[in-house]
Chain A
Amino acid sequence: MAMQPTAANSNKPPPTGHLPDNIMHFARVLRDTGLPVGPGAVLDALEAVRGGGMASKTDFYWIMHSVFVKRHEHTTLFDHAFEVFWRKPQMVEQLMQLLFQQVRVETAPAKKKAGNKRLAEALFNQDDAQSQRERPSDEVELEGEFTSSAREVMRNKDFEQMSADEERIARAAIARMRMNRLEVKMRRFKPSRQGVVDMRATIRRSLRAGGNMTSLAHKARQTREPPLVVLLDISGSMANYSRVFLHFLHALTNDRSRVQVFVFGTRLTNITRELKRRDVDEAMELVGSHVDDWSGGTRIGHTLREFNRKWARRVLAQGAHVLMMTDGLDRDDVDLLEAEMARLARSAKRIVWLNPLLRYGGFEARASGIKAIMPHVDEFRPCHSLNTLADLAEVLSGSRNETHDPQRWLDGTAVDPRKTDEVRP
């Protein structure tokens, strides 16, 4: 790999010497670090440099930046790659050390910047980086770790019974599940038998008949599914449910468009891209390596706040529906939780709360966290078994059902849905 920084500030129009080569190598490094850099971008880069008028290295940086970076998030990664590749070849050595000294005491990583690890992997042979790669990816796989409290153990046991068989059944059921589609009207039209008159088609039709107005063509509004945003709690108390849900969400993400999935425990992670893998196991593995707060505590208020700040405006546009899967047991900061729920409710078209705690017959909206969330959701549902999971399809189809009106739980007039269709564990 040609690594010497070239005279980037050569003012001559056609790039001579190693510059084109180096740009190509640089593009390859960027690609390996995960930036979507196609061959077209490399050609653009060469053209841009040729068109140049570069006066300084900063200009060179921004020229490269404007061609290679297509997303704001990628800037950090690009920065480091640029720094290493064009400015500080000696840093390559540092990175090498960072890779090879792993086993020894951590002396080398003086300052670890975000993205360095990925960059290191991209710069060097994949094999060298192999050791670096081995992350505790098994955690993902939902082979439930047992957590501490006694009640937790009880719940685990109960799930244990079903986990071997039921999980297989669950997966099969999930695959079979037909999701009714909720469709909302768009402002776009399509040809239809009824609806308003489509003048363009009518005129064309009449011309076909030689200028006579024979029949009117009609058009009606198209419909499409609204975007769906899922917030899944993966904290310890939800551990048993979240694995099944993840499978469900995988099916969902691959079934309809415009689904965004976030998981949260102590922090918020967007796993939409990871779930997009067709193969469910591959997707789960990716999700696992991407999320690092599995089965920890819950800070619903804080993570919601993060969601509201960072994501709400990006994913809740165009009338998105929100699906919250959490038990609502957050003792952290109830006022914050309440305020953030209120904000979420103001920006989302509809919020459906799925709470596995509803499986217990005597469930009452007593916990402070639950009380804080409840007033802001449009629908409150159980989701702990295959049956209820199947009901999810109905949730997504948007049919309103009085049984699930959250107000009833707050009033204490709710009928326990469990008594009818399931025996308590």
Chain B
Amino acid sequence: MPKPLPSSIDATQELLSNDGYLADRPLSTVVYLALKMGRPLFLEGEAGVGKTEIAKVLSSVLGRDLIRLQCYEGLDLAAAVYEWNYSAQMIEIRMAEAEGVDDRDRLQSDIFSDRFLIKRPLLQALEPHKSGPPVLLIDELDRTDEAFEAFLLEVLSDYQITIPEIGTVKAAEPPIVIVTSNRTREVHDALKRRCLYHWVGYPSAERELAIIKARKPGVGDDLAQEVVGFIQALRGQDLFKSPGVAETLDWVGALNELNAIALDPATVNDTLGVLLKYQDDIARMEGSEAKRLVDQIQSDIRLRAAE
């Protein structure tokens, strides 16, 4: 069932939180505007801060289909937009031959018709959907090359795609487009210009705590607080890759599985691999450093409780 778009920034924030996505005010603002203005939303940020998640949540709270296009180097039209079903086409040609059809124009229009068209994500997104315009997630755009970006310009500005054999396919209603990038390279300005841009950062301690509670309801208060304290402290360290929200949630899950009620240095050491994905970082944090951090946040929490 298509649901109406939110009518204000507050409504957007609430809508997202209904499905457990706790967006801060800036993010809600930009999401609201993107929906309102019918513009693509370009989200950039470190891995694991919830860029992809927002598309999933939007599709579920708005009751729309989610169409996902995962980008990779060398992504081309055949994989992203459409492809012809060659074997079926060949059979059709043979059959036409056998029947003695000699009208070339007819054959041409038969062969290049909807029937033989294999639709890939971008084309699917422009088609009418029962539940209203779908959410189109173009994930990790920075992985693809400039040629594909240039192609996206037409899609994102006019919501149309030109297929030489058929003509132009235009969306009756534009899909909700979310583009994400990890910034492994700079995406061209021409593309960004057509989008609303937002940098998704790491959440504050309170927000992160709320996220844990929303996503992992079974976790005890104390553990959640200690986890957040530890992770926030970790982000302050000079690491090659700081843990994102996704890692936080994974870690909480892992600690839960291990039946931990509070952090202790040994458990932290054993599960550090859930948080840190570079050997340098792990080596740096292991042992005494982890212990120091755990001690520090535990005394912080005690202090705050005493106040």
Contact = CB atoms under 8 A, between A and B. Distances in A.
Interface of A: 36, 38, 40-41, 44, 47-48, 51, 53-55, 58-59, 62-63, 65-67, 69-72, 75, 186-189, 199-200, 203, 206-207, 210-212, 308-309, 313-315, 317-318, 339, 343
A62 B30 contact: yes
A339 B283 CA distance: 13
Contact of B93 (A55, A206, A308): A206
Contacts of B9: 53-55, 59
B29 A317 contact: no
B193 A38 contact: yes
B247 interface: no
A66 B198 contact: yes
Nearest to B97: A211
A317 B39 CA distance: 29
Contact of A36 (B10, B25, B29, B189): B189
23 contacts: A38-B193, A41-B193, A48-B33, A48-B37, A51-B33, A53-B8, A62-B25, A65-B26, A65-B30, A66-B30, A66-B33, A69-B197, A72-B183, A72-B199, A186-B145, A187-B73, A200-B83, A206-B93, A207-B104, A210-B104, A314-B184, A317-B185, A318-B145
Contacts of A206: 93
A207 B108 contact: yes
B254 interface: no
B44 A72 contact: yes
**B32, B102, B107 — which one has the most chain A CB atoms within 10 A of its CB?**
B32
B86 A199 contact: yes
B185 A315 contact: yes
Contacts of A314: 183-186
A289 to B, nearest CB: 22
**B9, B147, B189 — which one has the most chain A CB atoms within 10 A of its CB?**
B9
B202 interface: no
A44 B74 contact: no
Closest 3 CB pairs of A and B: A187-B74, A199-B86, A62-B29
A67 B32 CA distance: 13
A313 B26 contact: no
Nearest to A74: B197
Contacts of B89: 203
A387 B198 CA distance: 49
A365 B258 CA distance: 52
B76 A44 contact: no
B96 interface: yes
B31 to A, nearest CB: 9
Give chain B's interface secondary structure class.
Answer: helix
Nearest to B108: A207
Given A48-B37, A51-B33, A186-B145, A59 B25 contact: yes
Interface in B74-112: 74, 76, 83-84, 86, 89-90, 93, 96-97, 102, 104, 107-108, 111
A394 B200 CA distance: 43
A207 B111 contact: yes
B292 interface: no
B277 interface: no
A70 B194 CA distance: 10
Given A317-B185, A339-B280, 17 more contacts: A51-B33, A53-B32, A58-B25, A59-B29, A62-B26, A63-B29, A69-B197, A71-B192, A71-B197, A200-B83, A207-B104, A210-B104, A212-B97, A313-B183, A314-B185, A317-B184, A318-B73
Contacts of A313: 182-184
B7 interface: yes
A207 B104 CA distance: 7
A313 B76 CA distance: 24
Contact of B196 (A66, A207, A308, A315): A66
Contacts of B145: 186, 188, 318
B147 A70 contact: no
B197 A207 contact: no
A213 to B, nearest CB: 8
A203 B44 contact: no
A121 to B, nearest CB: 23
A200 B90 CA distance: 11
B96 to A, nearest CB: 6
Contacts of A48: 33, 37
Contacts of B235: none
A206 B86 CA distance: 12
B73 A309 contact: no
B166 to A, nearest CB: 13
Contacts of B8: 53, 55
B107 A53 contact: no
A55 B44 CA distance: 26
B113 to A, nearest CB: 13
A121 B199 CA distance: 27
Nearest to A187: B74
A51 B104 contact: no
B250 to A, nearest CB: 21
A66 B29 contact: yes
B210 to A, nearest CB: 19
B65 interface: no
A62 B199 CA distance: 11
A75 B36 CA distance: 23
